[in-house]
Amino acid sequence: MLDVEVALAEALAEAGVIPPTSLAPIRNAARAERYDLVALDAEATLAGNPVIPLVRHLTSAVAAEDPTAAGHVHWGATSQDVMDTALVLELREAGAGIAATLGRAGDAAARLAERYAATPIAGRTWLQQATPTTFGAKAMVWMQGLDRARARLLSTLDAAGDLQFGGATGSLSTLGDAGPQVAAALAAKLGLRAPDAAWHTERSRVADVACALGIACGTLGKIGRDVALLAQTEIGEVAEPTAEGRGGSSSMPHKRNPVGSVRAVSAAVRAPGLVATMLAAMPQEHERAIGGWQAEWETLPELVALAADASAAMTDTLAHLSVDEARMRANLDAAGGVARAEGLMAALAPRVGRVEAARLVEAAVRHAATRGQALAEVAQADEAIRKHLDTAAIEQALDPIALTATARDIVRRSLRHREVDRREHDHG
């Protein structure tokens, strides 16, 4: 906020609204360490916002050096101009950091996708084993979510990069004809755009950033939940990285809790309510809100903190994830391999029609389940099936590598496209 006050004074001086001699005293006084934050907090509650007491203290500090300059502090601005512009500056910085972290998380997911593109793993729908896929394909879905979340965040941050500057009710009336010039100079100094008009009570810019942060948290939460599910003791296909003091349990030395993933899931539980608050705050009255604007003050920073923490947690988790390919294969073979039944059906259907194929496979599956045999064995011994498929064909139909070839190809194509996008973006 002090940076905004200084830039405002500079812009006013450039436009000739205040004399250049007022700049040095304002710059000298506008150093954050000179202000008592605890006192400001109490005064802000009474005043209605923190800018009122801040400007009062700033003005006093300037006055001690140069009484004339004191009259030029905050000239033409209203409290919300300063708070919102400071917010935009902070969002730009924090948002860029989150976007970079999402980028690193996406890279880590891409490396997993590449490395395990052809590693069979049980596909799971409704938490039940379904047709097999590859672990790389799972990681690719994570990667795509992260890349999209990053792109969306960057574009909303860009769209929100607008100076807030309108004076009491948006018209910059105090500055008269100099208004547009001061606004343009102020925006330029802060690296922001000067929009057509102030957006005091048109909150779509900040609501949009909130939504992008919420979507990022939801995306990270999906990955965190998947990792925690894969890390279950009974599944054990992945494990979070270990470190001194990380995820242990004093009473249970064998525990390796998915603490990184849980930070992401927790963020995904919290973000929706905070985004809802930002949206609920949108209908702001006339030229300054009674409640809506004020409700944003702590909510948006919390969303930023959540997204920052969750993206850091998942970047670390994905970059150092332990992957157990043998357990993936073992789980896939468990329950007699019935999760691969679709392969058998796909092989039979062109020969006997889908309805009859389903009937045959269903019988074999039931057979395998009842006798505790592997589906492959049952199928090889099933005369009705053998009428249409020979030994090799049945083997092929139930081979996880063959069954997941399409998954592998999808992963590789997706990684190629990502590579191209990256290269274009670097040159663009």
> Which of residues 245, 326, 383, 427 is near a copy of itself by CB under 8 A?
245
Binding of residue 208 to a copy of itself (CB under 8 A): yes
Per CB under 8 A, contacts with a copy of itself among 68-87 are 68, 70-75, 78
> Which of residues 111, 193, 222, 386 is near a copy of itself by CB under 8 A?
222
Per CB under 8 A, contacts with a copy of itself among 30-59 are 43, 45-48, 52-53, 55-56, 59
> Which of residues 36, 158, 325, 362 is near a copy of itself by CB under 8 A?
362
DSSP letter at 119 equals -
Binding of residue 150 to a copy of itself (CB under 8 A): no
With CB under 8 A as the rule, give the number of residues binding a copy of itself: 162
> Which of residues 202, 325, 390, 419 is near a copy of itself by CB under 8 A?
202
Nearer to a copy of itself, 245 or 428 (CB): 245
Q: How far is CA 312 from the centre of its chain?
A: 10
Residue 288 catalytic?
yes
DSSP letter at 114 equals H
Q: Build a one-symbol-per-residue string for 129-148: x at contacts with a copy of itself by CB under 8 A, - elsewhere.
A: xxxxxx--xx-xx--xx--x
- What is the C-alpha to C-alpha distance for residues 184 and 230, in angstroms, rounded to an integer? 54
- What is the C-alpha to C-alpha distance for residues 1 and 369, in angstroms, rounded to an integer? 69
> Which of residues 108, 265, 389, 398 is near a copy of itself by CB under 8 A?
265
**Residue 427 beta carbon to a copy of itself: minimum distance, rounded to whole angstroms:** 21
Residue 249 catalytic?
yes
How much is the CA Rg of the chain, to the nearest whole Å? 30
> Which of residues 371, 387, 417, 423 is near a copy of itself by CB under 8 A?
417
**Residue 168 beta carbon to a copy of itself: minimum distance, rounded to whole angstroms:** 4
- Matching residue, tokens 């930002």: 278
The sign of the dihedral angle between the CA atoms of 346, 348, 350, 354 is negative
Nearer to a copy of itself, 44 or 190 (CB): 44
Longest CA pairwise span in the chain (Å): 102
**Residue 86 beta carbon to a copy of itself: minimum distance, rounded to whole angstroms:** 17
> Which of residues 64, 65, 273, 371 is near a copy of itself by CB under 8 A?
273
Q: Single out the catalytic residue among 31, 249, 354, 371.
A: 249
Are the C-beta atoms of residues 285 and 243 closer than 8 Å to each other? no
* All residues at 6 or more sequence positions from 111 whose CB lies less than 8 Å from its CB, including other chains: 319
- What is the C-alpha to C-alpha distance for residues 69 and 187, in angstroms, rounded to an integer? 22
DSSP letter at 240 equals P
- What is the C-alpha to C-alpha distance for residues 313 and 249, in angstroms, rounded to an integer? 19
Binding of residue 123 to a copy of itself (CB under 8 A): yes
> Which of residues 32, 37, 38, 252 is near a copy of itself by CB under 8 A?
252
Binding of residue 171 to a copy of itself (CB under 8 A): yes
- DSSP letters, 374-409, are -HHHHHHH-HHHHTT--HHHHHHHT-HHHHTHHHHH
**Residue 107 beta carbon to a copy of itself: minimum distance, rounded to whole angstroms:** 17
Binding of residue 158 to a copy of itself (CB under 8 A): no
Per CB under 8 A, contacts with a copy of itself among 279-298 are 279-288, 290-292, 294-295, 298
> Which of residues 253, 326, 392, 426 is near a copy of itself by CB under 8 A?
253
Q: Build a one-symbol-per-residue string for 294-333: x at contacts with a copy of itself by CB under 8 A, - elsewhere.
A: xx--xx--x----------------------------x--
Question: What are the Cα distances from residue 336, in Å, to 121, 367, 373, 375, 395?
Answer: 15, 11, 6, 6, 14
Helix spans in 320-340 (H):
325-333
| Nearest alpha-carbon partner for 86 in 28, 32, 145 | 32
Helix/strand/coil for 42? helix
Helix (H) or strand (E) holding 301: helix 292-319
**Listed ranges 29-37, 88-96, 186-194, 227-235: which one lies at the site for a copy of itself (CB under 8 A):** 227-235
- What is the C-alpha to C-alpha distance for residues 213 and 251, in angstroms, rounded to an integer? 37
Q: Single out the catalytic residue among 288, 340, 408, 418.
A: 288
Per CB under 8 A, contacts with a copy of itself among 369-408 are 369, 403-407
Helix (H) or strand (E) holding 263: helix 259-280
**Listed ranges 83-91, 99-107, 121-129, 381-389: which one lies at the site for a copy of itself (CB under 8 A):** 121-129
- What is the C-alpha to C-alpha distance for residues 303 and 333, in angstroms, rounded to an integer? 43
Per CB under 8 A, contacts with a copy of itself among 333-352 are 334-335, 338-339, 341-343, 345-346, 349
**Residues with catalytic function:** 249, 288
